[in-house]
Copies of this chain bind each other. A is one copy, B any other.
């Protein structure tokens, strides 16, 4: 019988994430109890939020030393003792970083098929958490109107690359913030952004101002910190900030928030709204229909960054936090 490869948390990191936080391990393949399923992991999703979970309880319980590293994954049901699920079903769930997991049948989502001609991995990117996060965050929290200026940070990432393209579809001037000239070039050349700003460049705040001659109406914030601060100072009256994440703070939390809070929020009548993709679940079907229409018409290009091999999981997450990826990063496990 094959063993169950796992990465277990050796100790929690206190600052920047390093490989020694994860310990490769093996266990026997577990058996599902009543109401549970045994699944075999195919792809594991890498997300900045994985790192945030190590700091304490967020919208999920904190990760502790000794735990199998948590993470969302696409998996195939091997054995089911849960109603509505059968062997062979493709599901999404918190498999963690392991080959096999036993999950509560109520906590997994049965996946449909990818649209004809599209790879199955699209169910983890544009039709998964990333695509839905971009869709709901921009349209529900950001409320962009045609002709407005939309700015998104981590714009070459899984969520940001979709946010910018949806904003463009909605008739907005779209500006991406990303790290390094190569990513910035990709945004304007391949993904249709009107402008891109390199937050690692010395002239960032000047370049930021120049990229938004009419100010910012909607800022989709993936990063927090000094980039959020720079955008706050360029917001227009009645601007909206969709707060999606704070990746700049996950790996080395800052002692303070951005200047301008709450002063600029008052004088410019800004709205900052935080959200989690699950909050909009009842609208998923409508969102997926719209997203797949845009993919089919070529208006929305899907970027994926697929790394092959279970052993690469720690480096894949560390690299993600450093901004190595373009588009949705995942590790192919089996």
Say whether A265 contacts B272, CB under 8 Å: yes
A37 at the interface (CB under 8 A from B): no
* Smallest beta-carbon distance A250→chain B, Å: 9
Q: Which residues of the other chain, B, contact A254 by a CB distance below 8 angstroms?
A: 259
CB-contacts of A42-75 with B (<8 A): 52, 58-59
When all copies of this chain in the complex are counted, the total is: 2
* Smallest beta-carbon distance A168→chain B, Å: 24
Say whether B274 contacts A270, CB under 8 Å: yes
Q: Which residues of the other chain, B, contact A259 by a CB distance below 8 angstroms?
A: 254-257
A271 at the interface (CB under 8 A from B): yes
**Which of B228, B229, B249, B266 contacts A274, CB < 8 Å?**
B266
A267 at the interface (CB under 8 A from B): yes
A244 at the interface (CB under 8 A from B): yes
Say whether A272 contacts B271, CB under 8 Å: yes
A279 at the interface (CB under 8 A from B): yes
* Smallest beta-carbon distance A141→chain B, Å: 9
Say whether A274 contacts B279, CB under 8 Å: no
A253 to B253, CA, bound (A): 23
Say whether B266 contacts A276, CB under 8 Å: yes
Say whether B269 contacts A265, CB under 8 Å: no
A228 to B244, CA, bound (A): 21
**Which of B249, B269, B271 contacts A263, CB < 8 Å?**
B249
**Which of B59, B246, B256, B276 contacts A262, CB < 8 Å?**
B246
Q: Which residues of the other chain, B, contact A52 by a CB distance below 8 angstroms?
A: 263, 267
A313 at the interface (CB under 8 A from B): no
**Which of B255, B257, B266, B273 contacts A243, CB < 8 Å?**
B266
A261 to B267, CA, bound (A): 18
A204 at the interface (CB under 8 A from B): no
**Which of B244, B265, B270 contacts A266, CB < 8 Å?**
B244
Q: Which residues of the other chain, B, contact A228 by a CB distance below 8 angstroms?
A: 261-262
Q: Which residues of the other chain, B, contact A58 by a CB distance below 8 angstroms?
A: 267
Q: A255-B256, A262-B274, A266-B275 are in contact. List 5 more A-B contacts (CB 8 A).
A: A241-B262, A258-B261, A265-B274, A269-B273, A270-B273
Q: Ordered nearest first, which 9 A-B pairs have the shortest CB separation?
A: A256-B256, A257-B261, A257-B257, A265-B274, A266-B274, A58-B267, A243-B262, A272-B272, A243-B265
